[in-house]
Structure 1
Amino acid sequence: MAASLPQQDMLDQVNQLWSMLDDMSQTDPESYQKFIKRHLQEGVEQCAPPAPHTCLETRILDPEEGVLYINLCGWSRVPAPKSDSEPVPLSAGKLEQVDEGNERYKLMNVAYNPKVLKRGEEDGIEMDQLIRLAMKYIEQEYQLRLTHSYKLASYKLKGCATRMKQSLAGPAKTKPQTAESGGSLLQQISCLRVKGEPESSPSIELFTEKGSKPRKAGFIEVLSSTELEPAPVQTPSYHLSVSKDENGRATRIQLNVHLPEVSSVSECDLCISQDDVLIEVPDRYRLHLNLPESVHEDVVTAKFSQRSRVLCVTMPVL
């Protein structure tokens, strides 16, 4: 939990902090500017969304055989271990069941601190350990048995980037920073509150079992995970075509999706990345396609015909 302080003690600490900053701004303006810039940068990093890093494919052996994709992502909100003797924290989204026409698989988003993934890039053995930690967590959390083998996909992310961010940005738990434990200026201030006053945001704590003993290095510290029960939805009929120029180079991808139960484009949730497109109408339709060409995701246009109930998505090719 956050530090619980009597009101006067809290005010005294805040006043001391501001007094220190005032003195620094007068006596050493250069250090003051560096101090403020450093802590603002820490705040920006803490607010940055998760970013895709590596996608891997493996198989579920039990209780039901199937394909599992795991998106490994980097996220500054996930703490890095302070030493090699500490377990590696991870943040996990929800295990999702995905049905796309004839393709059926499960999808999981797992995030590590970017510094942890950076070390994995420099050491293949360490990256393999991170992958196996994620697989071990999924086995333990969802009572699954996975194969020991896996393969890395040629793309960094399976599915939609927006959905990945939403999955990981759900209720999360991480190690708290108290005012006495140091940390950034923003972290110290955010931990101060009046005793008995409700917190403005959920407390953030490591997931641990009551009475459990400290774990050895290499175990997983779980930050978040709850199972997602997918709503029954249909895969709509669609037609995808690629326009080419006189040299045979792809210039545009056109996707027409028939949505007979939709009356307005406002009912559709459209998510497009360079490599895939996801169209959802809550509780009715879901269509996820890997695109044959990389597209300009920022200049995509979409139109919905109320008469034909067809959503037309035009995607310029990179």
Structure 2
Amino acid sequence: MKASSKGLLTKISQFWNLLDDLAESDPERYKNFIQQELKDGKQLCVKPKPYLCVETKILKPKEKTIFINLCQWERIPAPQSTTHPVPISVGRPQDFSQASDAYTVIDVAYNPGILQAAEKDQKIKDQLIKMAMQCIEERLGVTLSHSYHVTKFRIKGSLQRMKDNLMGIHNNVTDLNEKMKTEHALEKTRCSTVSQPSHIPQLLLPKKNVSGKAQCLIEEISSTEIHVEVKKPAYQLKVVKDQHEKPLKIELKVELPGINSVSLCDLSVSEVDLLIEVSEKYRLYLNLPESVDTEMTTAKFVKDKSVLIITMPLV
């Protein structure tokens, strides 16, 4: 190990000496090299983005609904040609329950160029979905239904959960082997017809209440954490349109009887979903019908009516 470390340090020293020589002998070439390295580094840090969500069924070993978040990610390389394998990244499956429903969510990422080709050809899109399903079957050892439908929302769950999952950032690290297998894993399957073509901040109520991360908006709460009944509050959601019937914004009014202070409300908003929680009293999770601009989203609490009003302009 000592010899190996010494050799590595020697190579690093030689590399820096070469860079110093290049900077003196050919400043323009040195500048281009540094700019390219910065560009490559920026691409390495880019985060995945949602593309569409597919709902289907796990048939075996136990029947359950599964949502597949198809994402675009520049870190996934494009195939070398139409006859080469299409790289695909498969995240770790996560199980959730909401009310009486239990389901699994799994994130799958392709190169953006592949998905751009799919926008122009429904057959390619179907192939990509079927490829993702095949990878999931092989990875999890399950059997999926061959029928599926594309949901109205682009992603199931929160954006932050999806990004953390695909990028290998897990809150639960007890299963180290599983983490190592899924972290930045690239699975390859063949596709003979796919061709190459190529901001989501969150808003919480006043800054003192900001939690910093969106977290998983539909994470199951264990029975040990709940000692009182948490109710789903009454609400009204509407899409406001202009005179030409073009959608402008989403308005949400939530009734919170017994709440007299905004400081008791915790609101998390992403581009595609929303979560409102009042400790030990209320919890409301909604998939939004349109993508919203979280930076322009505002929230107002009407104290005398115990009503929370959220206005979300569309992107």
Question: Normalized against structure 2, the TM-score is what?
Answer: 0.64
Q: In the alignment, which residue of structure 1 is the partner of 2:156?
A: 158
Q: 26, 41, 44: which one pairs with 2:42?
A: 44
CA distance, structure 2, for counterparts of residue 145 and residue 28 of structure 1: 59
Matches within 5 A, 1:182-197: none
CA distance, structure 2, for counterparts of residue 128 and residue 245 of structure 1: 33
Q: Which residue type is aligned with residue 251 of structure 2?
A: Q
Q: Is the 8 A contact 2:95 2:102 kept in 1?
A: no
TM-superposed CA distance for 1:235, in Å, is: 5.9
> In structure 2, do the counterparts of structure 1 residues 49 and 301 end up closer, same or farther at CA, with 3 Å as the change threshold?
same
Q: Is the 8 A contact 1:236 1:259 kept in 2?
A: no
> In structure 2, do the counterparts of structure 1 residues 78 and 91 end up closer, same or farther at CA, with 3 Å as the change threshold?
farther
Matches within 5 A, 1:125-140: 127-140=125-138
CA distance, structure 1, for counterparts of residue 244 and residue 23 of structure 2: 63
> In structure 2, do the counterparts of structure 1 residues 306 and 60 end up closer, same or farther at CA, with 3 Å as the change threshold?
farther
Q: Is the 8 A contact 2:275 2:283 kept in 1?
A: yes
Q: Which residue type is aligned with residue 21 of structure 1?
A: L
Is 1:237 the counterpart of 2:227? The answer is no
TM-superposed CA distance for 1:272, in Å, is: 2.5
CA distance, structure 2, for counterparts of residue 279 and residue 89 of structure 1: 34
Instruction: Give the secondary structure class of the aligned counterpart of 2:70.
Output: strand
CA distance, structure 1, for counterparts of residue 162 and residue 143 of structure 2: 24
Question: Normalized against structure 1, the TM-score is what?
Answer: 0.64
Instruction: Give the secondary structure class of the aligned counterpart of 2:11.
Output: helix
Larger relative contact order (C-alpha < 8 A, sep ≥ 6)? Answer: 1
Matches within 5 A, 1:86-235: 88-99=87-98, 105-117=103-115, 127-153=125-151, 155-171=153-169, 218=190, 230-232=220-222, 234=230
- Once the two structures are superposed, residues 136-170 of structure 1 have per-residue CA deviations (whole angstroms, 9 ceiling, x without a partner) of 34334445432112233455333432332233233
Q: In the alignment, which residue of structure 2 is the partner of 1:254?
A: 251
Instruction: Give the secondary structure class of the aligned counterpart of 1:132.
Output: helix
Q: Which residue type is aligned with residue 105 of structure 2?
A: L
CA distance, structure 2, for counterparts of residue 35 and residue 119 of structure 1: 32
> In structure 2, do the counterparts of structure 1 residues 42 and 261 end up closer, same or farther at CA, with 3 Å as the change threshold?
farther
Q: Which residue type is aligned with residue 166 of structure 2?
A: L
Q: In the alignment, which residue of structure 1 is the partner of 2:174?
A: none
Q: Is the 8 A contact 2:76 2:87 kept in 1?
A: no
- Which stretch of the first structure deviates more once superposed, 249-258 or 36-45? 249-258
CA distance, structure 2, for counterparts of residue 145 and residue 282 of structure 1: 39
TM-superposed CA distance for 1:94, in Å, is: 2.9
CA distance, structure 1, for counterparts of residue 19 and residue 270 of structure 2: 45
- Once the two structures are superposed, residues 42-71 of structure 1 have per-residue CA deviations (whole angstroms, 9 ceiling, x without a partner) of 100111111112322223334554443211
TM-superposed CA distance for 1:307, in Å, is: 8.1
- Which stretch of the first structure deviates more once superposed, 245-254 or 21-30? 245-254
- Once the two structures are superposed, residues 267-311 of structure 1 have per-residue CA deviations (whole angstroms, 9 ceiling, x without a partner) of 7250231x4323457898653323345533221112457887654
Instruction: Give the secondary structure class of the aligned counterpart of 2:29.
Output: helix
CA distance, structure 1, for counterparts of residue 108 and residue 163 of structure 2: 11
Is 1:296 the counterpart of 2:286? The answer is no
Instruction: Give the secondary structure class of the aligned counterpart of 2:93.
Output: coil
Q: Is the 8 A contact 1:276 1:289 kept in 2?
A: yes
CA distance, structure 1, for counterparts of residue 167 and residue 149 of structure 2: 26
Q: 46, 54, 57: which one pairs with 2:55?
A: 57
CA distance, structure 2, for counterparts of residue 27 and residue 291 of structure 1: 58
Q: In the alignment, which residue of structure 1 is the partner of 2:210?
A: none
Q: In the alignment, which residue of structure 1 is the partner of 2:202?
A: none
Instruction: Give the secondary structure class of the aligned counterpart of 1:170.
Output: coil
Q: Is the 8 A contact 2:268 2:276 kept in 1?
A: yes
Is 1:313 the counterpart of 2:288? The answer is no
Q: Is the 8 A contact 2:93 2:104 kept in 1?
A: no
TM-superposed CA distance for 1:82, in Å, is: 6.6
